[in-house]
Amino acid sequence: MCDEHYEEDVKAYQSRMGITRREFGALSVGAGMAMFLPRAEGAVAVTESEVNVKTPDGTADCYFVHPTTGTAPGVVVWPDILGLRTAFRKMGKRLAESGYAVLVVNPFYRGKKAPVVPEGTVFSDPLVNSVIRPMAGALNATTHTTDAKALITWLDSQSSVAKNKKIGTTGYCMGGPIVMRTAAAVPERVGAAATFHGGPLVSPAADSPHLLIPQMKAQFLVAVAENDDMREPNTKTTLKDGFTKANLPAEVEVYTGAQHGWCPPDSPVYNEAQAEKAWTRLLALFGKALA
């Protein structure tokens, strides 16, 4: 699961779609150039800013967007391996327009401010191996936990965040495990958590995210890419069993036809129909769990 298998998945995707590597590259560029998202239904006016959040390891640069008036439930967004960029700012703004105070994190702040690679970079670009993977490899269960606590503390210090409502968190790709560790790190505050093509959520390691489920109190949405499920078919069952034993409401679903990375609008495998389905399910989760 996640991006270590991206190249082989690209080849399989090309074969099924009957496109060449050059054509696939053009699709990647086109996705970045045509990137847009439907405006949130009943969208409210929002205020955007670039903010810096102190953590035990330094200062995390983040994008913060929230309804211009009143207070709203806070949400922490963990991007995929390409990090904080235009696509995730757009996704965060859309969520804020739906009534949430959204903090989109640069998870690589210890190494570099966002964007860590140029806009338009795709997973197969050499920069991913030379620049991003070393920074991603420096992150672990401990850094995920300390960051989560610092970011939620910061959200709770903002006048635009409703302190009487639970906080939500979402994560994509490598952000999936961080979502689960966030839910376990601050269980009294995190009421809803969602992962999209996230991984690895289940592993043999002693610090596998799924082992933290008993410490959580959040309701969950786990949206699984079809090719991730083909590679790790037992993950969904392990997660469902874990949530059931912990008595946590959870929606765990494989999205048919959706490839790993299908949600961000700048992804070359962006699947609008399935991304909109995931968006609808996310709003449903937040609507009941953060009310």
DSSP class per residue in 156-203: HT-TTB-TTS-EEEEEETTHHHHHHHHHHHSTTTEEEEEEES---SS-
pLDDT digits (tens, 9 = 90+) for 36-56: 788 877 899 999 999 999 999
* 224: three-class secondary structure by DSSP: strand
Mean pLDDT score, 203-215: 97
pLDDT digits (tens, 9 = 90+) for 227-245: 999 999 999 999 999 999 9
Mean pLDDT score, 209-223: 98
Given this model, what pLDDT does residue 1 score?
44
pLDDT over threshold 80, residue 3: no
pLDDT over threshold 70, residue 6: no
Q: How confident is residue 30, by pLDDT bands cut at 50, 70 and 90?
A: very low
Q: Which domains can be identified in the chain, with CATH numbers?
A: 2-35+47-289 (3.40.50.1820)
DSSP of 84-114: SSHHHHHHHHHHHHTT-EEEEE-TTTTT-PS
pLDDT digits (tens, 9 = 90+) for 74-89: 999 999 999 999 999 9
User: Nearest 5 degrees, angle CA 290-CA 161-CA 37?
Assistant: 70
Residues 215 and 185: their CA atoms lie apart, in Å, by: 8
